[in-house]
A and B are shown apart, each in its own frame.
Chain A
């Protein structure tokens, strides 16, 4: 269990960064006063409910909405026959890029065609939520059903190699060296195929949008990882000036990827509000969360390793086959970190896609690497077995001193230290002995390497800092708070840059009226927003120091800027700290209510440092399991994760997020599976009772170990990110522990007891 020592709540000014301060929003979140998107109720609020198609392919022959329209309290029923057309469909592009970011390039309720089960075919607006939901069940839809195909086994013969995947950002194939020559040279070969169930993110808050129009301007409360993504996407879909749309996402009840992109519901809520003239809240039901905001696709990955007898890799082939929708070429990027993990000259990675009657898959926590590293790290464990090497020793022999893809040096790494610390904490030396047995339980230890990419910003990330004449500071950027602790951590960043006590600094985010930052996705929220906040606060500090130096009435008058520093919350001379004054004294003397500055961090700031380095976050996962020898039941006894995420802004919240990631890995390994009925083309287990996620009693002892690495290339603060790395490799460490305990190599996720019988 992670230690939670009582924190120093009020560290000295300038020493807030990294401290395990309590969450700034703790009181709101524990008293029920924290407001999420569905908790805002503008006057005259009405409720929208969607009806989804129950066929997976075909078309609507006829619709009868008479019963719904006649139902008590119903204001309107929208179908493809009467919903206004969208102005334009923006292309699919990950929200990290900062522009329009639709989750798929299909928009519903525009024509009678059905492309996937659950596709909205009608939307009811009523005065209460119950009445809206009830009325959807009074709508009669006459479908002309066509044959559907929704699982790999139905469509693998149609597989094709896409030129690009992932919104056009990644090539369908990547190679280096000569794979055939490498395989020829190999003395030991491992060739394994892994299969993965589809998964759904299932944050506890279902996607919810509250929309209202005031004076021609659209206001949305939207549960989104990036309010700006919603703004930009809706501007295109609705043909509105971006300036006429404001999106607030102050607090979001979890996302895990399903709110990273903008799906149809915010635009549907906006259209409903415009057409009915009343504010509309559209809250997806739990069932609809399985058919409205993407999923992690079912997939197969084949890994072929070629190695010399001493374990050194000479060939790595990694192929992935997965279903995508009929409109987009999407695969989660499973082959990326896995291609950079080990020194291996000869490589081939290929994505293969096949079209299915599902919506476009999307991000889910640790996108790509959660599945890619399961395959690679399971195969590495098998290679260790076949070469007779300790699995940790095998990794060390293949340690990549430079990025094997680009040949560039790493911006920072820390992986060897993660191996050493994790191994010590789990007691890895026990693995040398034969597997232990305790009664019916076979005990096993496993490990895996963890890595997650760092993506530099595509465009400038901005923030604004303001100091008031009373000495308090307000720092703003449009980032959403969905549990990462951004609100708290950004106040810490601002406090240190301004040289003020953290208690004097408030961070405000979650609105498109604030300076623009990209969606907080891909573990980059702390990096992007942190760098912008740091830049803004540093600029404001420099501005106020310059003002003091130029002010004949200031004790700092005439000093050199380089000689002025911040100490004890005051601007002072570095060598004579008794000489100086506070920001508040300076502002009050000039009758200035406040001073403000904006800061920006973007691609231009990275060209010098970032482009000369390869950037990945590294870690090492260790697991201890017990497997019932007769029943095959797998119990996780302990998880140890050692991570090197660069500068940690708040140790308490970082550890919480890393622990959550590791437990997500446990869920991926042992529980999470969305079942598709291939005959009906529908997901079968669309509830939290049937889609299993870890509950309190599933959780073993979890140890999070932070390994410090100094990184000057990633961003000014040296932050590498903690959102995903906790999950990377966890499932492989667990499967490898099961292999150690039982001698069985499980290649299917989630692992289940029937695989061990």
Chain B
């Protein structure tokens, strides 16, 4: 995580201008589509995506950062969009579950989720998918050509709750998709 040092006194010219508390224009690039939302600085990325962009794939399961249903990527990194301010993502590339399939062709992870029946109600699925693809990319499902370690996958997927408890199917789906990614 990068940290930003607060600007020293007398250097106000270099500090970002104060905005809000009312609505301000916030530019976001979501799934390669540019949006400019008129939102209050307190609005979370999750609310901005769902209510502002109309992208309801990311789900509000807790709004406390404990369930993972709202997981999206900012740049390449998975974040809990309920705990991320939209205004902090200005100018960054945000990817949601709606951006996973390319031109109508499902991502291997989506295909393996379906093939392994890795969900029941489907509410946690968008977050599970975004975590799953990221963890493979992060190298937690084995190096290319290597067998994945199910225990490692389970550990790195434990921030995404599935109350239907389709966990064994999730782990199997991720291991299978990792071989195809």
Contact B122 A1 (CB under 8 A): no
The interface centre, meaning the residue of B40, B155, B160 with most chain A CB atoms within 10 A of its CB, is: B40
Minimal beta-carbon separation of B72 from chain A (angstroms): 10
> How far, in whole Å, are A660 and B167 apart by their CA atoms in the complex?
9
Minimal beta-carbon separation of A19 from chain B (angstroms): 13
Cβ–Cβ < 8 Å partners of B155 in chain A = 696-697
> How far, in whole Å, are A251 and B59 apart by their CA atoms in the complex?
13
Report B34-67 CB contacts with A as 1/0, cut-off 8 Å: 0000001011000100110011111111111111
**Count of B interface residues, CB-CB < 8 Å:** 63
Is A72 among interface residues, defined by CB-CB distance under 8 A? yes
Contact of A664 with B165 at beta-carbon distance under 8 Å, contacts A129-B51, A652-B117 already known: yes
Cβ–Cβ < 8 Å partners of A693 in chain B = 161, 163
Cβ–Cβ < 8 Å partners of A485 in chain B = 120
> How far, in whole Å, are A306 and B83 apart by their CA atoms in the complex?
57
Report B158-177 CB contacts with A as 1/0, cut-off 8 Å: 11111111111111100000
Contact A1 B114 (CB under 8 A): no
> How far, in whole Å, are A693 and B125 apart by their CA atoms in the complex?
17
Minimal beta-carbon separation of B174 from chain A (angstroms): 10
Report A691-723 CB contacts with B as 1/0, cut-off 8 Å: 001111111011000000000000000000000
Contact B110 A203 (CB under 8 A): no
Contact of A252 with B168 at beta-carbon distance under 8 Å, contacts A32-B126, A130-B47 already known: no
CB-contacts of A16-58 with B (<8 A): 22-23, 25-36, 38-39, 41
Is A301 among interface residues, defined by CB-CB distance under 8 A? no
Contact A254 B22 (CB under 8 A): no
Contact B122 A25 (CB under 8 A): yes
Cβ–Cβ < 8 Å partners of B115 in chain A = 4, 6, 22
> How far, in whole Å, are A582 and B61 apart by their CA atoms in the complex?
48
Interface size class of A (residues with CB under 8 A): 35 or more
Contact B129 A4 (CB under 8 A): no
Minimum CB distance partner of A30 in chain B = B110
> B57 touches which one: A6, A33, A694 (CB < 8 A)?
A33
> How far, in whole Å, are A283 and B169 apart by their CA atoms in the complex?
30
Is A205 among interface residues, defined by CB-CB distance under 8 A? yes
Is A688 among interface residues, defined by CB-CB distance under 8 A? yes
Cβ–Cβ < 8 Å partners of B106 in chain A = 27, 30-31
Is B12 among interface residues, defined by CB-CB distance under 8 A? no
Contact A22 B165 (CB under 8 A): no
Contact B165 A4 (CB under 8 A): no
Contact A205 B59 (CB under 8 A): yes
> How far, in whole Å, are A41 and B50 apart by their CA atoms in the complex?
10
The interface centre, meaning the residue of A129, A687, A688 with most chain B CB atoms within 10 A of its CB, is: A688
Minimum CB distance partner of A694 in chain B = B165
Contact A656 B125 (CB under 8 A): no
Cβ–Cβ < 8 Å partners of B164 in chain A = 254, 483, 656-657, 660
Is A256 among interface residues, defined by CB-CB distance under 8 A? yes
Q: When A and B form their complex, what is the total count of cross-chain residue pairs whose Cβ atoms lie within 8 Å?
A: 188
Minimal beta-carbon separation of B35 from chain A (angstroms): 16
> How far, in whole Å, are A699 and B172 apart by their CA atoms in the complex?
13
> A660 touches which one: B50, B54, B110, B120 (CB < 8 A)?
B120
Cβ–Cβ < 8 Å partners of A252 in chain B = 121
Q: Give the interface segment out of B3-11, B95-103, B136-144.
A: B95-103
CB-contacts of A648-697 with B (<8 A): 652-653, 656-657, 659-660, 663-664, 667, 687-689, 693-697
Contact A697 B154 (CB under 8 A): yes
Contact A483 B61 (CB under 8 A): no
Is A202 among interface residues, defined by CB-CB distance under 8 A? yes
> How far, in whole Å, are A179 and B162 apart by their CA atoms in the complex?
45
Contact A32 B56 (CB under 8 A): yes
Is A154 among interface residues, defined by CB-CB distance under 8 A? no
> How far, in whole Å, are A412 and B69 apart by their CA atoms in the complex?
41
Contact B62 A483 (CB under 8 A): no
Minimum CB distance partner of A26 in chain B = B114
Contact A256 B163 (CB under 8 A): yes
Cβ–Cβ < 8 Å partners of A130 in chain B = 40, 42-43, 47
Is B93 among interface residues, defined by CB-CB distance under 8 A? no
> B167 touches which one: A25, A256, A696 (CB < 8 A)?
A696
Contact B123 A1 (CB under 8 A): no
The interface centre, meaning the residue of B22, B106, B162 with most chain A CB atoms within 10 A of its CB, is: B162
Minimal beta-carbon separation of B158 from chain A (angstroms): 4
Minimal beta-carbon separation of A471 from chain B (angstroms): 26
> A688 touches which one: B61, B101, B122, B157 (CB < 8 A)?
B61
Cβ–Cβ < 8 Å partners of B166 in chain A = 656, 659-660
Is B119 among interface residues, defined by CB-CB distance under 8 A? yes
Is A156 among interface residues, defined by CB-CB distance under 8 A? no
Contact of A286 with B120 at beta-carbon distance under 8 Å, contacts A27-B114, A129-B47 already known: no
Is A204 among interface residues, defined by CB-CB distance under 8 A? yes
Cβ–Cβ < 8 Å partners of A483 in chain B = 119-122, 164
Cβ–Cβ < 8 Å partners of A253 in chain B = 59, 61, 121-124
> How far, in whole Å, are A254 and B106 apart by their CA atoms in the complex?
25
Is B116 among interface residues, defined by CB-CB distance under 8 A? yes
CB-contacts of A279-303 with B (<8 A): 283, 285-286
> How far, in whole Å, are A32 and B117 apart by their CA atoms in the complex?
16
Cβ–Cβ < 8 Å partners of B119 in chain A = 29-30, 483
Contact B120 A689 (CB under 8 A): no
Contact B158 A204 (CB under 8 A): no
> A699 touches which one: B113, B124, B168 (CB < 8 A)?
B168
Minimal beta-carbon separation of B68 from chain A (angstroms): 9
Contact of A656 with B126 at beta-carbon distance under 8 Å, contacts A204-B121, A205-B61 already known: no
Contact of A204 with B69 at beta-carbon distance under 8 Å, contacts A35-B56, A128-B51, A286-B63 already known: yes
Closest 5 CB pairs of A and B: A32-B57, A253-B123, A483-B121, A483-B120, A29-B122
Q: Which residues of B contact A (CB under 8 A)?
A: 22, 40, 42-43, 47, 50-51, 54-67, 69, 96-98, 100-101, 106, 110, 113-117, 119-126, 129, 151, 153-155, 157-172
**Told that A41-B51, A283-B60, A697-B158 touch, could you supply 8 new A-B pairs with CB distance under 8 A?**
A31-B98, A32-B55, A128-B47, A256-B163, A483-B119, A687-B62, A688-B61, A699-B165
Q: Which residues of A contact B (CB under 8 A)?
A: 1-2, 4, 6, 22-23, 25-36, 38-39, 41, 72, 128-130, 202-206, 251-254, 256, 283, 285-286, 482-485, 652-653, 656-657, 659-660, 663-664, 667, 687-689, 693-699, 701-702
Would you mind naming 30 contact pairs between A and B with Cβ atoms under 8 Å apart? A6-B115, A23-B117, A26-B113, A30-B122, A31-B57, A31-B97, A31-B110, A32-B55, A32-B97, A32-B98, A35-B56, A36-B123, A129-B51, A130-B40, A204-B61, A204-B121, A204-B163, A253-B123, A254-B164, A286-B67, A482-B121, A659-B168, A660-B120, A660-B164, A660-B165, A687-B64, A689-B66, A694-B167, A696-B158, A702-B168
